[in-house]
Amino acid sequence: MARPDLLPEVAAFLQRAHGHFIDGRAVPGEGARLAIVDPATAEPIAEVAAAGAAEIDAAVAAAQRAFAGDWGRAMPAQRAHCLLRLADLIEAHGDELAQIETLQSGKLLGLARGFEIAQAAAFLRHYAGAATRLHGETIAPSIPSFHDERYTAFTRREPVGAVAGIVPWNFSILIAVWKFASALATGCTSVIKPSEFTPLTMLRIAELALEAGIPPGALNVVCGGGDSGRLLCAHPGIAKISFTGSVATGLQVGRAAFDGRLVRTTLELGGKNPVAFLPDVPIERMLGGIMEAGFLHQGQICAAGERFFIHRSRIDETLEALAATLRTLRIGDPMDPTTQFGPLANRPHLDKIAALFRQARGDGTRIVCGGETLDRPGFFVAPTALRVDRADAPLLHQETFGPIGTFLAYDDEDELPDLLNGTPYGLAASVWTQDIAKALRLVPQVRAGTVWINMHTLLDPAVPFGGAKQSGVGREFGAAFVDDYTELKSVMIRY
Ligand code: NDP
């Protein structure tokens, strides 16, 4: 099927000379220009400027002014109203945003429209609700009274200021929303730095935010690569950094945040997430679970399952059926609604996955299916299942962030806690069984920020999300995010 026509507004948007969005307006930018490449064709589709110190200074100054001004002084209900309007606008412009997202990231159009845009609106509405529910508490101190004086105390939640949000390329709309909507809900202001590969949707959303009534300076976007991110994180005007990306970059961000100052930091990092199937799971559910956990968005999801543990009595039939499923996936243009499996998001990622395939071939790993790049334009690889026979096999421990499931057989369910915990990461895990009691007994033994039972990958704005161990620090969503974006001030009164 041919690629569907671009919406006129998308074609016009791509033609623009993109730079940054600072203080309520598009700024062309003076830095180097970066090509934005369509992963399905490897052809450039747009250009964007990379932010240098001048643009970062301007964005942070605008965020600080809005914090001291219109947004910092806005009543909670006004903040909620603006976020709700932005949710409506994102839905109204959903087709346009989905096309731009698919063109820049290779995400299937249906996933962009039906999942990412819908979830972005849901998260905005969740944070809008939180804006009017930022509560302190009243406390009765036990200070002795010598002259009949009394004491009372209360706490206030106060926004920390201008917040930097650093976003990776896999969900450039949704992860940006997690960061700026939580900041704006609490009364903070935001400077978002999208990935150099996928900045276009955020530039468009910043325009919609202005239309939604979010005042100039409250939400800014600076584009560029790691250097731009580094400058933003090191900027003295930034009161908090919320970073999502790799462990290696997260460590650099953490160091910058504690270098001569103390800047609050939330780090959402990588994972090598385990998926354990108990022997009682029917084959169809197991297959569905493996596809849900490991192969959505070509595996480019931080919480995706990459280590699969299957009882020895079931592993052969499962891998045979999985290989048959993976081999028949319709691989192709993510803009084509009939495509089931698209390209990887960018060339460096393709190169990384190709190197992992070579490693698998070199170290004697059994390649059940896939294990190769595809000879066609764009950044395509075959969905891949690997079988290893040792718990210390390297591919069971290296994060691939791609469509590579690595499978190991176990003999006894007592092995599962050690197998599940056997990496330095701890983002997420899932346990699949018909015996809920067995799953619930495993939950406290798994060191991960999220444990799913009979599901994987799906997140909800009401449920906190974040990593244990090397997978990060802090929590987003739920009510947990409030701790990270507000200072808890205690007020004590003698009367
Ligand atoms: P990176 O860590 O390479 O980059 C993440 C972001 O940080 C990008 O915007 C990047 O810019 C920017 N950046 C790079 N260097 C610096 C620096 N020194 N200071 C500040 N910012 C910097 O990750 P990827 O974009 O490659 O994303 C994939 C990784 O993200 C995977 O490891 C995955 O596990 C993790 N991830 C975690 C999630 C979670 O919620 N825990 C969710 C999604 C992904 P640029 O891209 O332009 O280099």
Rounded distance between C-alpha atoms, residue 340 and residue 222, angstroms: 33
**Ligand 1, atom 28: nearest CA belongs to which residue?**
245
Closest residue CA from atom 23 of ligand 1: 245
In the predicted structure, residue 306 carries a pLDDT above the cut 70: yes
Helices 247-257, 226-234: axis angle to 10 degrees equals: 30
At residue 30, the pLDDT reads: 86
* Average of per-residue pLDDT across 60-75: 97
Evaluate: CB of 381 within 6 angstroms of ligand 1.
no
What is the pLDDT confidence band of residue 177, given thresholds at 50, 70 and 90?
Answer: very high
1, pLDDT greater than 90: no
Domains along the chain with CATH numbers? 8-269+471-492 (3.40.605.10), 273-460 (3.40.309.10)
Q: What is the pLDDT of residues 189-241, one digit of tens each?
A: 999 999 999 999 999 999 999 999 999 999 999 999 999 999 999 999 999 99
> Of all atoms in ligand 1, which is nearest to the CA of residue 270?
34
> CB of 465 closer than 6 A to ligand 1?
no
Confidence of residue 3 (pLDDT cuts 50, 70, 90): confident
Give the per-residue pLDDT at 108.
98
User: Which position among 96, 101, 268, 476 bears the catalytic label?
Assistant: 268
Contact at 8 Å (CB) between 362 and 381? no
Q: Band of the pLDDT at 6, cuts 50, 70, 90?
A: very high
Nearest ligand 1 atom to the CA of 472 is 41
Q: Check if 360 has its Cβ closer than 6 Å to any atom of ligand 1.
A: no
User: Among 484, 495, 491, 490, which residue's Cα sits nearest to residue 159?
Assistant: 484
Q: What pLDDT band is residue 368 in, cutting at 50, 70 and 90? A: very high
Whether 427 contacts 302, CB under 8 Å: yes
Q: Phi/psi zone of residue 148: left (φ > 0), alpha (ψ -120 to 50 degrees), beta?
A: left
With a 6 Å cutoff on the Cβ, whether 162 touches ligand 1 is: no
Q: Please indicate whether residue 268 is annotated as part of the active site.
A: yes
> Whole-model pTM?
0.96
Percent of the chain scoring above 90 in pLDDT: 96
